[in-house]
Amino acid sequence: MIATMDHIVINALEVEVMVGFYVEVLGLAPERVDAYRQGEAPFPSVRLNEETIIDVFPREMWAGPGIAGPGRENMNHFCLTVTRTDWEALRDRLASHGVEIEVGPVPRWGARGVGTSIYFRDPEDNLVEARTYDA
């Protein structure tokens, strides 16, 4: 089976901080943020591409009695793939926002073979990998 990823869900303590990081630092497009702020949507999202989003769940969606799922610690890391130019620009934005690169640049194997990756954390300590594949 060949599939595409529809979405990733991140459990957040500070939804606005998380959305700000993914929009301002990573450069992703916001989705339903105004609707969330106005109470019309249960959570906001950010868009990776035409087919994939990251949903940012507020605490009431992942903590407490009667909530299905594993709770807060539900992910090791996720990987974003970008062009070399965008990858270099991301490294610059991370530095300008004081976000430490924990590992990398390092070669890593992925869906398209070996690429070059960096690893960093978002404001709530989720590990994010950003990878570029050379042509």
pLDDT of residue 67: 53
Dist CA 3 CA 86 (whole Å): 25
For the chain of 135 residues, list the mean pLDDT of each consecutive stretch of 10.
75 94 95 96 92 89 61 70 92 96 90 88 88 82
Beta strand 77-81 with 29-31 is unpaired
Domains of the chain with CATH codes: 1-70 (3.10.180.10), 76-135 (3.10.180.10)
Q: What is the pTM of this model?
A: 0.79
**Cα 2 off chain centre by:** 22
pLDDT of residue 62: 76
